[in-house]
Amino acid sequence: MRAALLSILVLVLALPMGAAASEPASGQASDQTTDTASDQATEQVTSYTLDNGMEVVVIEDHRAPVVVQMVWYKAGSADEWTGVSGVAHFLEHLLFKGTDTLAPGEFSKTVAANGGTDNAFTSYDYTGYFQRVAADRLELMMKMESDRMVNLRLDEDDIATERDVILEERNMRIENDPSSLFREQMGAAQYLNHRYGQPVIGWRHEMEALSLEDALEFYHLNYSPNNAILVVAGDVQPEEVKALAETYYGAIPANPELGERERPQEPPQTAERHLTFSDPRVAQPYVSRSYLAPERDAGAQEDAAALTLLAELLGGSQTSVMAQKLQFETQQAVYSGAWYSGTSLDDTTFGLIVVPSPDVTLEQAEADMDRVIDEFLETGVDEDQLDRIKMQLKAAQIYARDDVQGMARRYGSALASGLTIEDVQAWPELLQETTAEDIMTAARDLFDPERSVTGYLEPEPGAAPAPAPAAAPQPEDPAAQTGLPDDMDMEVAE
């Protein structure tokens, strides 16, 4: 079976990926126009920078006449100032209001009328807007997207309406879910000074006070071409994208007031932190732990690669160390897991979760978690399991090339988080080159109790039992970028 899978993998790797990247046309863009595709690259990627500082990335895939346009602003909730938590997400909503040429709601109606879809999302490190349309509609999308980069028109009625919308969204996503409220508290305990400790959607009392002035101040500072990345993926030619980008985005002047991204950083964490969150609605108690961990850095992704594989080994599947030890051998847990995603501008976290079996206390579950970690540090990595995980990751990366929007997101999120195209393209091979020794070194550095936060989610004492959940709680996919479950890494998509 393994030999067959390897044969399939070799065949898939041999398949061509779209047409070769065309040589970018010369024009008004700066001298940074380059073709980053090489004989080893898995995607045909061309990049250049407009004279106003806007980065442009073109990913060719000519298998279907479809294109995805994404504009990523290097401004997320971690770039907000004190007292206005949630303003980045609030502004994301407001950008669907009118401009001088588009009535409120007309943007999305136009996309739909042309057979496309559009949406937006906010995370700690960026805010993104995208459209997926037929390739011959790209110019229209650029015209509308560049328009709202500078010509947004808002009034007090818009503010009142959308403020109610985001408050109701918080009710649905956070207030009605004890696990989400618990994760907010975990994030606040982990990050004492950094903005990653604030929920992306915002603290409710600050959301209620968000004003027109708050939204416009964030907009005018951050929504400028020298703070944006344009990613176009699909059935396009780089020189055609460049010409359109220069026409629509290149005409917008850079914002000279935009400085470097400076954020308050965490002080050294010197004490283990522990919290208990009780809620009468909790039906399934569990214990969760997070450790401060390094993120992927430009030109230095080795630690992040080791932590990515460590998460898979410890708690990435039913064959992982935690699942085997806690769910099958001792049956002390009904679910266990580990997660890490290093695509983050600043330090992220590595997370663990154990959902205990009935009659197993949270204290026992925490002790079991510690025991499994200690045993892993003693016994080390199972080389056969590591080989299987690497092969699964390679296969997943190959299949991901079939999703043009996913490719655009992968490059956009990385670039908005401080990485380069070269880092994105080097990542798959770096995972394959990471050794068991690298993983164990990363694990020993990671599992420092003084850098951890452990939390118990439990029902309130004496509360009537809540209805049993259909399945054990699991951390949501931390795909966005910070490596934290759900709304610690929260990517709020509309």
- Tokens, residue 363: 């204290």
- Tokens, residue 427: 């990542």
Q: Are strands 127-134 and 333-340 parallel, antiparallel or unpaired?
A: unpaired
Q: Which of 55, 92, 184, 366 is catalytic?
A: 92
Neighbours of 109 (CB within 10 A): 11
Supply φ then ψ for residue 406, to 5 degrees: -65, -40
Q: Are strands 273-278 and 452-458 parallel, antiparallel or unpaired?
A: parallel
- Round to whole Å and give the CA distance between 84 and 61: 41
- Round to whole Å and give the CA distance between 390 and 386: 6
First to last CA, the chain: 42
Q: Is the dihedral of CA 71, 73, 77, 81 positive or negative?
A: negative
- Tokens, residue 389: 């995980």
- Round to whole Å and give the CA distance between 5 and 81: 51
CB under 8 Å, gap of 24 or more: what pairs does 401-405 form?
401/17, 401/42, 401/43, 401/61, 404/59, 404/61, 404/64, 404/66, 404/67, 404/68, 404/233, 404/234, 405/68, 405/130, 405/132, 405/233
Map tokens 């956009």 to a residue: 412
CA distances for 235 relative to 146, 238, 240, angstroms = 21, 10, 11
Q: Are strands 228-234 and 127-134 parallel, antiparallel or unpaired?
A: unpaired
Active site residue 429: no
Is the separation of the CB atoms in 303 and 211 below 8 Å? no
The dihedral region occupied by 422, where left means phi > 0, alpha psi between -120 and 50, and beta the remainder, is alpha
CA-closest candidate to residue 24, choices 245, 215, 214, 190: 245
The Cα diameter of the chain in Å comes to 72
Concatenating the DSSP letter of every residue in 416-440 gives HTT--HHHHHHHHHHHHH--HHHHH
CA distances for 224 relative to 29, 221, 466, angstroms = 17, 7, 49
- Tokens, residue 199: 């929920």
Give me the active site residues, please. Answer: 92
